[in-house]
Amino acid sequence: MSFSKKESDFQKVYQKLQEQQNEEKQLFMKQNYEKLPSWSRHEVSSGILGSQHATSGVLEGLCKKVQQHFDEDREKFMKENADKVSSWSK
């Protein structure tokens, strides 16, 4: 088997794996989109079902937004419960 034939076969297998990953990713997002909190759904654009790069960007944005909400919720909780929370836990 020549090198170019092996390379061609490898590219075909790699392409097929990429297609399967994209299909699984799309299926997962379609099945779980409704489980997202309502405030986060607007972060998930139509790009989530697009290319791998678009999906990565959308997911990174969503992760940043989730972290921001956690930080805000933690700060709010600490302010509202300052008298109940021990000083060592702040």
Residue 90 counted as domain residue: no
Residue 26 counted as domain residue: yes
Q: Sign of the C-alpha dihedral, residues 40, 45, 46, 49?
A: negative
* Domain range enclosing 36: 3-83
Q: For residue 43, give every residue at least 6 positions away whose Cβ sits within 8 Å of its Cβ, in sequence order, or none.
A: 58, 61, 62, 65
Residue 88 counted as domain residue: no
pLDDT of residue 55: 58
pTM, to two decimals = 0.40
CA 90/CA 88 separation, integer angstroms: 6
Residue 20 counted as domain residue: yes
| pLDDT at 49 > cutoff 60 | no
Residue 89 counted as domain residue: no
Please count the structural domains in the chain: 1
Q: Classify the phi-psi angles of 49: left when phi > 0, otherwise alpha if psi is within -120 to 50, otherwise beta.
A: alpha
- Across 13-17, 20-24, 43-47, 66-70, least confident range: 43-47
| pLDDT at 45 > cutoff 70 | no
